[in-house]
Chain A
Amino acid sequence: MNCIIIDDEALARSIIRNHCDKTADVEVVAQFENAISAIKYLNQNEVDLIFLDIHMPDFTGFDFIQTLKNPPRIVLTSSDRNFAIEAFEYECIVDYLVKPVALPRFLKAVQKAQQFVASTEPIQDTSVQSQPQQETENDLYINIDRRLIKLNFDSILIIEAKGDYILIKTEGKNYTVHSTLKKIEEKLPESKFLKIHRSYVINYHKIIDIEDNSVLIAKDVIPISRSNRPILMKRLNLL
């Protein structure tokens, strides 16, 4: 089995790679310290298995999984000991390892992955529904792994550019979509949304406060570029 390792910690990558070196039929073909680099790699290469850290800054393991159209088998890794239930909501996930990973437990995970790889075809998302893509006055449909998910404009807080992807933060959940800020900006009503920085579009009705060159939305502090600050100030109902 070809595998890749995605983890922002060098120590964690080292442990998994060393365990792979000791395991027959498992070859590490690449290692990544962030998910974005791994996505670029996977756009051009196929792998059988991914060892994926759940908790990485900016782009989590779950964000990463949502970007994959036909995900290979995935073994999740985490320092947390209480993620297991959420982890198995994803069909592609075959096991969950708590860091630091000991070799016997690692071997069990590999065995599970081998069984899945040998017995099944690539995973197809069975939850796809033939739902027409449309933009209404209040909603936006985003395509996540061939599923059209409806987002109400009022639920969207922030949209952040992440390389070839955008991260849409809503009041309930975050979504990673293969798109650009420019494309999504065209779909959003000006009465609610404004680009305040080259990497951020915000729902300015969700601003909690503005301080110097940043705005606070929910728990996120978003920078305002100098050129966009006057535009934002014009949109606000200032006393």
Chain B
Amino acid sequence: MTKPNLDKIKEIAGGTASFEQEMISIIKEELPAELEQYQFHLEQNNFKQTAESVHKLKHKISILNMEEAYATAAAYENELRAENPTSAPAFKKIIDELNAFVKKL
């Protein structure tokens, strides 16, 4: 599994430090709220809204360069839409790792 890293953010920023910092700031601001929403909908057993939350988190997973984790998240989103979410434990590991990484930024 690729660990979360800033390689893709640096690539997108193209050497513009202020752009790189802006992206990191937004991720730090958006991620806690998105994780909270995910947890809330999961606890409510609301598959549709949980899938929406996973969909949003996929962008964060992708931009932090977690390629294998992205595939798991995409599969989990589809499972939720089919109301058969078997990848919840694997996804929890991903978001825990993501959250720990972002907190250190």
Contact = CB atoms under 8 A, between A and B. Distances in A.
Given A18-B16, A101-B12, A9 B56 contact: yes
Contacts of B52: 57
A155 interface: no
Contact of B48 (A15, A22, A55, A219): A219
A8 B72 CA distance: 23
Interface string B18-41: 010011001101100000000000
A103 B30 contact: no
Interface residues of B, number: 23
Does more than half of chain A's interface fall in helix, strand or loop, or is it mixed?
Answer: loop
A151 interface: no
A74 to B, nearest CB: 20
A79 B23 contact: no
A99 B58 CA distance: 9
B43 interface: no
Interface in B51-88: 52, 55-56, 58-60, 62-63, 74
A10 B16 CA distance: 18
Contacts of B27: 11
B62 A99 contact: yes
A10 B30 contact: yes
Given A18-B13, A18-B16, 11 more contacts: A10-B26, A11-B23, A11-B27, A11-B30, A14-B23, A15-B12, A22-B16, A79-B58, A80-B55, A100-B8, A101-B12
Enumerate the 10 nearest inter-chain pairs by beta-carbon distance, A residue then B residue, closest first.
Answer: A100-B63, A79-B58, A79-B59, A11-B26, A18-B19, A10-B26, A99-B59, A103-B14, A102-B12, A14-B26
23 contacts: A8-B56, A9-B30, A9-B59, A10-B29, A11-B26, A11-B27, A14-B23, A18-B19, A55-B55, A79-B55, A79-B56, A79-B58, A79-B59, A79-B62, A80-B74, A99-B59, A99-B62, A100-B8, A100-B62, A101-B12, A102-B12, A103-B12, A219-B48
